[in-house]
Amino acid sequence: MKKWIRWPGFGLFAVLVLLLSAFSLLFIDGFMERMLESQGSRLVGARVDLDKADLSFMPLGLTLFRLQVTNPDEPMRNGVEIDRLAMGIDSLHLLERKVIIDEMAVQGVRFDTPRQKSGALTQKGRPEKHGKEGTGFKMPQLQVADVKDVLSRETLETLELARNFEEQLARDQAQWQQRLADLPDQQKLTSYQARLQKVKSSSGLAGLVTGATELEAVRKEVKADLDQLKKAQNDFTALSDSYQGKLAQLKNAPQQDIKRLVDKYGLSAQGFGNMSALLFGEKIGGMVRTGSSWYEKAQPLLQRQKNKQKSAEVIKPLRGKGVTVRFKEDAPLPDFLIRKIDASVVLAAGELRGTINNVTPDQDVLGAPMTLAFAGDKLQGLRSLRLDGVFDHVQPDKVQDSLTLQLRDYEVRKTTLSSAKQFPVTLASALADLSVGAKLRNRDVDATVLTSIKAATFTTDKAAQEGNLLSQALADAVAGVNRVEVKAVITGPVDDYSVGVSSDLDGVLKGAVSKTLTKQSAQFEQELKDAVMTKVKGPLAEATAGYGGLGSISDELAKRLQIGGSLLK
């Protein structure tokens, strides 16, 4: 036994344990500070800085001083800055590797504060932005098209029809000239007259008998020729009628061309139906993008990746190697849980107070959703603010998140609504009520933003409107508005949503635009009409003259029929 046991080893072990404990007590705060900074930076994708971390053991608790979380999209600004963050940690559960915080006090939360040093992590690329950038809110074009340009780009149907008409007419005329040549002509018909005279002048019985036979033969021949000529005349009449119809169609074609081109290049108030998107789209789009970006950043706190393998649950840990397998517990608790956070948020308008409950990436284990409720009254430039949210990931495959925000009497000062070059608009002053209701089912968002703007004063840039009739009309219309109701509807997948904006301002602006457009459109139509008529005048005249050429064939046929008809009388 003595050969294998080294009794002083126990003492040495005890000394080692004591030394390690003493070392931990001395350096644990610094170690904790660096660990929180590095882990936080890894999670956020930008620097997380901490002025001081203070770990206490009896009872177990942690206090953090001045926590700065860089906004990954703007490294010179903090997304969030917190003055003091204090929490008590359940030491018994910590032995089970579970961080359970019953209550956390967060004081002095500020958003979007400036940083002295860049918080960018050099080794990591910037995350991709979600959603549609600048969701296409553009000033509708009011550029009257140049008539010459239009005619150089477009093919006129009239010219096509005229060319076809003339080609067909020339072919038919040639055919009829040939047919006229094949038909009995005036000379042949006149020769029948000579034969008839000869028969009439014959005398004697034999002459009478022979004359009667000859007369019958001549009559038969004349009748046959007349039948041919009549048939030709009927055919020609049908052809002439068809050309008459074609000519009428050709003469109507310029009007059709003008109508088509006016429809295509002319101006209409249709594109101006949703001017709200132009005025409020930028602001609402920006708000939605910010919300969507923070929602994505908060995902690790709401839910984490888990796979069910046989009877155990495999969880991909936030850090470290391997995977952690979770088994059934008597009283299951998440690996990380903050039951309640009491927070005070410092805004430019004043202080907001609120609570956040059940912060955990394992809501399915806890069986309760994360909720938040913040409120502030009598704030500077804002009568009241209320924010409520439920982030329900209890069933990971049936995520149901909802958020409501109510702002009352928010004083708006010098807010740029549209930075479009042709129509820059600023809301100089107003009182606004804002109501946001957003629901998220799995990855599909369905949100409505209702804004009621009262006592509004809109200003526009006079210089930008110089010589622009539309901008002037819009500016005049906007200047006369003092109440606006705006509704924005955001729908679709959270990373590819669409924003629809409407307001009662649309009707006012559309009316102003319509008047200007009607005047401009009429001018464009007249110019186009003149230009088209000039272009088709020649071909139309040629086609009409060609049609007139058919008259000589008709006359010739009529003459031959007249001669032939006189022979049989």
Partner 1 sequence: MLKLFAKLLKVLNSDADPGQISLALCLAMIAGLTPLLSFHNILVVLLVLVLRANLSAFLLGLVVFTGIAYLFDPLFHQLGLALLTASSLNGLWTSLYRVTLFRLANFNNSIVMGSLIFSLVLFVPLMLLFNELIRKYRQHVLRWVEKSRIMKFFMASKFYGIYKNVMGTGGMA
Please report how close the Cβ of residue 12 comes to partner 1 at its closest, in angstroms.
5
Please report, as residue ranges, which positions from 451 to 470 form the binding site for partner 1 (by CB under 8 A). Answer: none
Please report, as residue ranges, which positions from 82 to 141 form the binding site for partner 1 (by CB under 8 A). Answer: 92, 95-97
C-alpha distances in Å from residue 515, one per residue of 207, 472, 523: 96, 12, 13
Please report how close the Cβ of residue 35 comes to partner 1 at its closest, in angstroms.
13
* Closest to 438 (Cα-Cα) out of 400, 476, 472, 468: 400
Q: Rounded to a whole number, what is the largest CA-CA distance in the chain? A: 180
Please report how close the Cβ of residue 21 comes to partner 1 at its closest, in angstroms.
12
Helix (H) or strand (E) holding 424: none
Cα separation, 521 vs 500, whole angstroms: 29
**Between residues 125 and 320, which has the closer beta carbon with respect to partner 1?**
320
**Between residues 13 and 294, which has the closer beta carbon with respect to partner 1?**
13
Of 2-10, 224-232, 447-455, 490-498, which part binds partner 1 (CB under 8 A)?
A: 2-10
Cα separation, 409 vs 218, whole angstroms: 112
Instruction: Pick one of 310, 378, 413, 414: the residue that binds partner 1 (CB under 8 A).
Output: 310
Q: Let me know: does 87 contact 59? Beta carbons within 8 Å.
A: no
**Between residues 148 and 316, which has the closer beta carbon with respect to partner 1?**
316
Q: Let me know: does 158 contact 536? Beta carbons within 8 Å.
A: yes
Q: Note whether 314 binds partner 1 by CB under 8 A.
A: yes
User: At which residue do the structure tokens 């200003």 appear?
Assistant: 459
Three-state secondary structure call for residue 494: coil
C-alpha distances in Å from residue 462, one per residue of 281, 351, 466: 22, 39, 7
**Between residues 365 and 488, which has the closer beta carbon with respect to partner 1?**
365
Q: Note whether 38 binds partner 1 by CB under 8 A.
A: no
**Between residues 11 and 204, which has the closer beta carbon with respect to partner 1?**
11
* Closest to 502 (Cα-Cα) out of 516, 487, 517, 481: 487
Please report, as residue ranges, which positions from 267 to 306 form the binding site for partner 1 (by CB under 8 A). Answer: none
Cα separation, 427 vs 109, whole angstroms: 29
Cα separation, 56 vs 34, whole angstroms: 17
Please report how close the Cβ of residue 22 comes to partner 1 at its closest, in angstroms.
16
| Total interface residues for partner 1 by CB under 8 A | 30
Q: Let me know: does 375 contact 354? Beta carbons within 8 Å.
A: yes
Please report how close the Cβ of residue 95 comes to partner 1 at its closest, in angstroms.
5
Please report how close the Cβ of residue 5 comes to partner 1 at its closest, in angstroms.
6
Binding mask 156-185 for partner 1 (x = CB under 8 A): ------------------------------
Q: Note whether 1 binds partner 1 by CB under 8 A.
A: no
Q: Note whether 428 binds partner 1 by CB under 8 A.
A: no
Of 5-13, 40-48, 103-111, 231-239, which part binds partner 1 (CB under 8 A)?
A: 5-13
Pairing of strands 336-347, 99-114: parallel
* Closest to 373 (Cα-Cα) out of 394, 393, 352, 395: 352
**Between residues 15 and 479, which has the closer beta carbon with respect to partner 1?**
15
Q: Note whether 10 binds partner 1 by CB under 8 A.
A: yes
The sign one gets for the Cα dihedral 258, 264, 266, 267 is positive
**Between residues 247 and 315, which has the closer beta carbon with respect to partner 1?**
315
**Tokens found for residue 491:** 């729908």
* Closest to 324 (Cα-Cα) out of 297, 349, 305, 303: 305
Please report how close the Cβ of residue 333 comes to partner 1 at its closest, in angstroms.
11
Please report how close the Cβ of residue 313 comes to partner 1 at its closest, in angstroms.
10
Binding mask 182-221 for partner 1 (x = CB under 8 A): ----------------------------------------
Instruction: Burial-class residue 77 by CB neighbours within 10 Å (0-12, 13-18, 19+).
Output: middle
* Closest to 265 (Cα-Cα) out of 553, 546, 549, 524: 524
Please report how close the Cβ of residue 10 comes to partner 1 at its closest, in angstroms.
6
Residues 6+ apart with CB under 8 A from 130: 289, 292, 293, 296, 494, 495, 496
Three-state secondary structure call for residue 158: helix
Cα angle 390, 391, 397; round to 5: 135
How far out from the chain centre does Cα 274 lie?
12
Please report how close the Cβ of residue 320 comes to partner 1 at its closest, in angstroms.
8
Please report how close the Cβ of residue 340 comes to partner 1 at its closest, in angstroms.
25
**Between residues 308 and 569, which has the closer beta carbon with respect to partner 1?**
308
Please report how close the Cβ of residue 302 comes to partner 1 at its closest, in angstroms.
23
**Between residues 321 and 413, which has the closer beta carbon with respect to partner 1?**
321
Instruction: Pick one of 128, 311, 413, 463: the residue that binds partner 1 (CB under 8 A).
Output: 311
Of 4-12, 136-144, 204-212, 266-274, which part binds partner 1 (CB under 8 A)?
A: 4-12
Three-state secondary structure call for residue 101: strand
**Between residues 6 and 413, which has the closer beta carbon with respect to partner 1?**
6
User: What's the full length of the chain, in residues?
Assistant: 569
**Between residues 97 and 378, which has the closer beta carbon with respect to partner 1?**
97
**Between residues 94 and 558, which has the closer beta carbon with respect to partner 1?**
94
Please report how close the Cβ of residue 305 comes to partner 1 at its closest, in angstroms.
15
Cα separation, 278 vs 7, whole angstroms: 84
Torsion of CA 87, 88, 92, 93, to 10 degrees: -30
Neighbours of 454 (CB within 10 A): 14
Please report, as residue ranges, which positions from 316 to 345 form the binding site for partner 1 (by CB under 8 A). Answer: 320-330
Please report how close the Cβ of residue 326 comes to partner 1 at its closest, in angstroms.
7
Of 3-11, 79-87, 233-241, 346-354, which part binds partner 1 (CB under 8 A)?
A: 3-11
Question: Would you tell me which residues interact with partner 1 (CB under 8 A)?
Answer: 3-7, 9-10, 12-13, 16, 92, 95-97, 309-312, 314, 320-330
